[in-house]
Amino acid sequence: MKWAKRIAKDLIGSRPASLQVGALCTRRIDGKLQILLITSRDSGRWVVPKGWPMRGRSLAGAARQEAWEEAGVKGRISSEPVGSFHYEKILDGGLGVPTDVVLYHLKVDHLEKVYPEDHQRKRQWCSPRYAADLVAEDSLKKILLEFKG
């Protein structure tokens, strides 16, 4: 079975990265920028809300929908991306798929207590520096540290 995974990984590694959309959810408390992170459902790592593009929605609209489903966020999203980052999405069975995430800024107006994935994830407000310490992807760390919101 290991040889099959290796061959599949070699084949997938030769194609372009998959595209996801994400939301950089922020608020200001006493003038200080805070960033919302959530845990992934599978590994429990700290991430930003993200997911696949959705038919019938703009990329920004899909990012806003992912923020609602994964974090209970209500707010205003930018029409233009604030950056992008790369990571390897691990699929069921352990196969990794190179994935590019286009990130949109979402100014949070309200966090709902009840939302579609509320029993599957934790959420946490962080300073940009602490958020950068928690996430794994170097290119996302850079965005978090440089974002002025």
CA dist., res. 10 & res. 77, Å (int): 37
CA dist., res. 117 & res. 12, Å (int): 30
Question: What pLDDT sits at residue 89?
Answer: 85
Evaluate if residue 2 carries a pLDDT over 80.
no
CA distances from 32 to 35, 55, 126, 127 (A): 10, 36, 10, 8
Each residue's pLDDT tens digit, 68-81: 999 999 999 999 99
Whether the CB-CB separation of 83 and 32 falls below 8 Å is answered with no
CA distances from 89 to 19, 97, 136 (A): 11, 5, 12
Question: What pLDDT sits at residue 95?
Answer: 83
Q: Which domains does the chain have, with CATH numbers?
A: 17-146 (3.90.79.10)
The model carries a pTM of: 0.87
Tokens of residue 146, six digits = 């440089």
Evaluate if residue 1 carries a pLDDT over 50.
no
Evaluate if residue 85 carries a pLDDT over 70.
yes
Each residue's pLDDT tens digit, 96-143: 889 999 999 999 999 999 999 999 999 999 999 999 999 999 999 999
Q: Please provide the distance, in angstroms rounded to a whole number, between the alpha carbons at the two ends of the chain.
A: 47
